Amino acid sequence: MGGVLVMLDRIAIASALREIGALLTVQGGARFRARAYATAARALESWNAKPEALSDPTALMALPGIGRALAQVIVRLRRTGRNSLLERLRQELPKGVLQLRQVPHMTLRRIRILQEALGIATVAELKTACADGRVRAVKGFGEKLVQNIRDGLAKWETEGGLLLLPHAEREGHGLLAFVRNLPGVRDAALAGEIRRRAETTKVVAMAVAAVDPERVVDDIVHYPPVVAVIEHRADGCILRLADGAMVRVDVGPVQTFAGLLLWATGAAVHGDRLVEIARHRGMELDRRGLTRHASGRTVVAEDEAALYRQLGLPFIPPEMREGAGEVEAALAGTLPTDLIGEDDIQGLVHCHTDYSDGMHSIEQMARAADDLGMKYLTITDHSPTAHYANGVAPDRLQKQWDEIARVQELVQVTLLRGTECDILADGSLDYDDDILARLDVIIASIHNRYKMDAEQMTRRLVTAMRHPFFKIWGHALGRFVARRPPIECRVEEVLDAAAESRVAIELNGDPHRLDMEPHWQRQARARGIPFVVSTDAHSIGQFANLGYGVSLARRGWVTRGETLNALGTAAFRAAVRPV
């Protein structure tokens, strides 16, 4: 958008809000405000309301993240097409700054200098000016810096940033809402890593069925958050969004949508195996689905399950399409069919309250668990060694039990007394046995001394697991997605000890943790070790981590029967009771 527009529509308003948010971010120093604009933009993009609602502050304020001030901004944008903050930011910041700022080494200051000296306002112009030597001629742009920028440009064109799953989902759902509203679109679904529930996403992938695919692609490249069109074909496009996310959209005819979705979802290894199997059966598998060699005819398939059936395979859920031996297991009939699902979960495990570092009280957490229809909720605050997290000393623990007893009178959900007990450096647990003996649920986790060598760490864990009160191993290997590697230990040996001591492994649904990883889960399954799928919730909102935890378990092929918190209250208590 530019110039004076009158009566903006929903997407144009969202685009203006997005631009304000992004420009505030580039300018620096107003992170909270920038985020508020981005949130409001996203809320509008996925809002299915009549255009009149855009002029109604009350309706707008019902959207997540839109308060009175932002509602007024939207109403004014709708009426006048103008926003003074946006106009000021555009004036103060160099043209094209949002795009240029994403190229590594292009700081705001350098963008300003190149704009004044050479008038560069797009990535394409920057690329040309780097290649023909004009950038090198600008004062302050030495040989090394120019090379770095050129490397940065190459990187920018081929790689997206690594998005954590919730971020990728937000971008994906925003685009999905936009695409579903385009004329001629019959179906659209997220695919690729998001659909496989991978912990990180390089490319937000989507499959779209349309009456006229080429026309729909032409519309999609005008999605407001797009800052660069990397590739534009008749049957798809690759785009870069304002916040750096890469997007790949594949568009095909309605009749072959199942094939397109299958093709756009699986990891490459999974797809390659299916192609091989198809050839053995006299068919070709590609983005149109299956085609018979003999007749050249496309096999009509109403969904992915029908395509798998044609290949002689059971339906393989998206979370399993990683090329981790799932096709062989399916052929051999050993692929688990009763994967754990979110509806199977009966109790919320691993929840913090304001007794340690949680945000909400026991009563608030319990009432929220009631609203979700949960049968039990484990209150597992930190133990004293986690002093930075306000770990609960024994005297306060007694107080917490009294509070749990009081709240229990008010709610349906059964409240279980628990702890997330630190595993100390020598493998002992942070509370004395007489305290541990009085708890219903003990999750034991490592929160300090991550950097022991493998020998020490293995001994620490094996020692801890021999403790009769060690029942659930919390966020097992301690990694943070894309930020901190797992602890070093001999995992197989620790898993053997866990199996021997009848320890359950927690699958932590915090999207920053998603621990333990699927290949280790399969190793644990082979040893008969059970699991709990946890939220590690530090607030009511984080009960939603359950969905991520369940996806993580499905990626590790974990079944309902292997998941302790798919059990009812009495059976769960018995399974985790300290002995």
Kindly tell me which of 517 and 536 has the beta carbon lying closer to Zn ion.
536
Report, in Å, the least distance between residue 356 CB and Zn ion. 8
| CA distances for 234 relative to 250, 314, 502, angstroms | 9, 33, 57
Kindly tell me which of 383 and 414 has the beta carbon lying closer to Zn ion.
383
Kindly tell me which of 420 and 517 has the beta carbon lying closer to Zn ion.
420
- Picking from 337, 358, 279, the residue whose alpha carbon sits closest to that of residue 540 is 358
Kindly tell me which of 8 and 443 has the beta carbon lying closer to Zn ion.
443
Element (H, E) at 240: strand 236-241
Place of tokens 């999974």: 270
Do the bridges between strand 504-508 and strand 185-190 make them parallel or antiparallel, or are there none, so unpaired? unpaired
Distance from CA of residue 248 to its chain's centroid?
17
One-letter amino acid of 39: T
- Picking from 438, 373, 441, the residue whose alpha carbon sits closest to that of residue 402 is 438
Binding mask 504-543 for Zn ion (x = CB under 5 A): --------------------------------x-------
Kindly tell me which of 34 and 537 has the beta carbon lying closer to Zn ion.
537
Q: Count residues near Zn ion (CB under 5 A).
A: 3
Kindly tell me which of 192 and 391 has the beta carbon lying closer to Zn ion.
391
Report, in Å, the least distance between residue 482 CB and Zn ion. 18
Do the bridges between strand 472-473 and strand 504-508 make them parallel or antiparallel, or are there none, so unpaired? parallel
Tokens of 295: 């007749």
Report, in Å, the least distance between residue 350 CB and Zn ion. 6
Residues contacting 397, CB < 8 A, separation 6+: 419, 431, 435
Q: Are 428 and 467 in contact (CB under 8 A)?
A: yes
Judge if the upstream peptide bond of residue 516 is cis by omega within 30 degrees of 0.
yes
- Span 110-169, contacts to Zn ion by CB under 5 A: none
The DSSP annotation for 65-76 comes to T--HHHHHHHHH
Kindly tell me which of 21 and 474 has the beta carbon lying closer to Zn ion.
474
- 265 makes contact with Zn ion (CB under 5 A): no
Binding mask 468-487 for Zn ion (x = CB under 5 A): --------------------
Kindly tell me which of 80 and 448 has the beta carbon lying closer to Zn ion.
448
Binding mask 56-75 for Zn ion (x = CB under 5 A): --------------------
Report, in Å, the least distance between residue 555 CB and Zn ion. 21
Report, in Å, the least distance between residue 437 CB and Zn ion. 22
Report, in Å, the least distance between residue 363 CB and Zn ion. 20
**Three-class HEC string of 274-310:** HHHHHHHCCEEEECCEEEECCCCCECCCCCHHHHHHH
At 286, give phi and psi (nearest 5°): -150, -160
Kindly tell me which of 321 and 512 has the beta carbon lying closer to Zn ion.
512
Report, in Å, the least distance between residue 515 CB and Zn ion. 10
Report, in Å, the least distance between residue 538 CB and Zn ion. 7
Kindly tell me which of 304 and 420 has the beta carbon lying closer to Zn ion.
420
Report, in Å, the least distance between residue 517 CB and Zn ion. 17
Report, in Å, the least distance between residue 536 CB and Zn ion. 4
Kindly tell me which of 115 and 378 has the beta carbon lying closer to Zn ion.
378
Which burial class, exposed, middle or buried, applies to 200 when counting CB atoms under 10 A from its CB (0-12, 13-18, 19+)?
A: middle
Q: Rounded distance, CA 308 to CA 411, Å?
A: 46
- Span 412-471, contacts to Zn ion by CB under 5 A: 420, 445
Report, in Å, the least distance between residue 418 CB and Zn ion. 11
- Picking from 393, 378, 381, the residue whose alpha carbon sits closest to that of residue 356 is 381
Report the DSSP beta bridge partners of residue 291.
284, 298
Helices 362-371 and 394-408 pack at an angle, to 10 degrees, of 40
Residues contacting 455, CB < 8 A, separation 6+: none
Do the bridges between strand 283-286 and strand 289-292 make them parallel or antiparallel, or are there none, so unpaired? antiparallel
- Span 337-356, contacts to Zn ion by CB under 5 A: none
Report, in Å, the least distance between residue 435 CB and Zn ion. 18
Kindly tell me which of 98 and 546 has the beta carbon lying closer to Zn ion.
546
Task: Specify the 3-state DSSP secondary structure of 230.
Answer: strand
Kindly tell me which of 46 and 445 has the beta carbon lying closer to Zn ion.
445
**Three-class HEC string of 404-423:** HHHHHCCCCCEEEEEEEEEE
Number of H helices, E strands in the chain: 24, 16
Report, in Å, the least distance between residue 380 CB and Zn ion. 7
Contacting positions for Zn ion (CB under 5 A): 420, 445, 536
